[in-house]
Amino acid sequence: MDTTRRPTDELLDVARVLLRVQSAVLVATTIEALIWNLVFPGAAGTPFLLTGVAAVLVLVAGARLRANRSRTRRIVYVVETVILVNLLIDLVLAVVITGHVPPIVALLTRFVLPLSVIALVRQSTRVTVTPIAVSPLEATS
């Protein structure tokens, strides 16, 4: 068993878990979009498709995220940026129309989560790769 772990691995561990939860939220939203599409047929299924694609991309990216996989990192950046831009539009609308920010859970899943993922993935590419450490998680297993 490989017991050598770089600091980048530990940051990517966190990013992977966040991506896993984010993909679960996106899968739930995709199923909701499918149901709403039956109630409001006018939306033509585009939101359902877009959310489904995002869910799959995040799920796959979460499974394949490694320090040396720049393509996976780029996919993560693109999906997270789309989610953040979407939230930005909603935030502006909410503040202008109601004077309130969106609900807390919306801020957690669409601001804190994507921003944390971007920060962790970016940080993992910046951390020096020289120090070798043994993760306490693996040391105890």
**Contact residues: other proteins, CB under 8 A:** 1-2, 10-11, 13-14, 16-18, 20-21, 23-33, 35-37, 39-44, 46-48, 50-51, 54, 59, 63, 82-83, 86, 89-90, 93-94, 97-98, 100, 102-110, 135-138, 140-141
Task: Compare residues 70 and 101 and give the one whose CB is closer to other proteins.
Answer: 101
**Distance of closest approach, residue 86 Cβ to other proteins, in angstroms:** 6
CA 123 distance to own-chain centroid: 15
Residues with Cβ within 8 Å of 52's Cβ and at least 6 positions away in sequence, in order, are 30, 33
Q: Which residues of 70-98 are buried (b: 16+ CB within 10 A; e: fewer)?
A: eebbebbbebbeebbeebeeebeebeeee
**Distance of closest approach, residue 23 Cβ to other proteins, in angstroms:** 7
- The answer to whether 48 and 77 have CB atoms below 8 angstroms apart is no
Cβ-based neighbour number of residue 109 at 10 Å: 17
Task: Compare residues 51 and 72 and give the one whose CB is closer to other proteins.
Answer: 51
**Distance of closest approach, residue 81 Cβ to other proteins, in angstroms:** 12
Task: Compare residues 125 and 135 and give the one whose CB is closer to other proteins.
Answer: 135
The rounded distance, in Å, linking the Cα atoms of 135 and 118 is: 23
**Distance of closest approach, residue 138 Cβ to other proteins, in angstroms:** 6
